[in-house]
Structure 1
């Protein structure tokens, strides 16, 4: 950040897409939104670009030559945790859950609107910034861990344990759990989760919430998150467990 002007730092986005027209269109739009953009067209190139440029967020196609986006995601998350928005031509829930399971934070199904892609990139970056700000808090300002129903959720340290064992969550899964843990036993609507966790107003994209909840349940226990059909989700308090 410039000390004289207060201009925020430009964020770097790595765009990985083997279709040249889509790759260039996404890159051009992100540059128009004042992001620095690095482009890659295959799996090995994506991993190399990530290592060289340390991007702030990755827009990653699933179907890539060399090796696919799932393998790319595994490799880059091993090197350095980074928010990943996956692009998939298939809306099959199993494919989406596999992507979320290897460390992706969000996904978009092709064809997508460029405005929505930009919004999701911005939301991923805001979540990272909020997490960093929370981590810096000290003393009475630092939120205390929440313990209920065999779960321990430490929002400041961004760590969670289930029945004494630490569980590794993606940044989105963790923020989703923190949002539910803030009001245990209370049903939080999908629209509210989208607004508070993803930063999307208007309630579009509820399927994204459902997919992430399924991934979260697989890691912390399906009986700990209750579905209120047609409404949203609640973190169980364990009173009846």
Structure 2
């Protein structure tokens, strides 16, 4: 028996949100409806979804930021629904990881067709790359660090390290995108789920604690490098 497709709908307009939710539920989808970007990001982290439908003009965290955060941790199809017709918005949306863009008003029939099309391609992708993803779930690095991205387990020189959820989230995100520079604001928005410009000191404190548990000297780092005035990047050298 086929599993029910789980849809995350992020739409702050109550009328549009209700219409889309009710239509998709009649089509047999399981729909979770969030009315803000922060709520949508919290929902996405709380449970697995097969596809996300995201409006751009959202309170607390806009759709561009939400798409970027989702894409950093997942390959699920992202479909933007927006009243913005200009090419700049479409290009930016696709640039932060969205797979498709539909402008309001749109027909519910077209929306269903696009969801079906994206889900068909996504399931083929999962079937094709499932074994490769499983084999690549654990990575080992010079210096004795081992990270299992699937099981969320971290070891140093063969011994398990006890990390707080925030510390683990920071390490998984940084190590999952080696050599990519993350600003403190990006890390705070992604890990704490809040669009808050005042979170820099919070990030600094947690990175310092994480480094201590990894025995990673700040001045001669093997794993997490500080880019002064910008943020942090993971520089661990992966071993076979």
> What TM-score range do you get, normalising by the shorter chain?
0.5 to 0.7
After superposition, residues 221-236 of structure 1 pair within 5 angstroms as: none
1:25 equivalenced with 2:13 (yes/no): no
Q: Aligned residues, how many?
A: 132
What is the aligned partner in structure 2 of residue 167 from structure 1?
Answer: none
What is the aligned partner in structure 1 of residue 127 from structure 2?
Answer: 133
Q: Secondary structure at the match of 1:15?
A: strand
Instruction: Compare CA radii of gyration and give the structure with the larger one.
Output: 2
Deviations 1:151-193 (A, max 9, x none): xxxxxxxxxxxxxxxxxxxxxxxxxxxxxxxxxxxxxxxxxxx
Deviations 1:91-142 (A, max 9, x none): 111110100000000010000001111111111110011122333699xxxx
1:11 and 1:101 map into 2 onto residues whose CA distance is 26
1:106 and 1:68 map into 2 onto residues whose CA distance is 17
1:119 and 1:110 map into 2 onto residues whose CA distance is 16
After superposition, residues 122-201 of structure 1 pair within 5 angstroms as: 122-135=116-129
**Aligned equivalent of 1:108, options 99, 102, 105:** 102
1:82 and 1:49 map into 2 onto residues whose CA distance is 14
Gaps of 5+ in 2: 133-240
> What displacement does 1:61 show?
0.3
1:76 equivalenced with 2:73 (yes/no): no
TM-score under structure 2 length normalisation: 0.53
- The answer (yes or no) to whether the contact 2:25–2:31 under 8 Å persists in 1 is yes
- The answer (yes or no) to whether the contact 2:50–2:77 under 8 Å persists in 1 is yes
**Aligned equivalent of 1:42, options 36, 40, 55:** 36
> What displacement does 1:54 show?
1.6
> What displacement does 1:76 show?
1.3
- The answer (yes or no) to whether the contact 2:6–2:29 under 8 Å persists in 1 is yes
1:53 and 1:22 map into 2 onto residues whose CA distance is 24
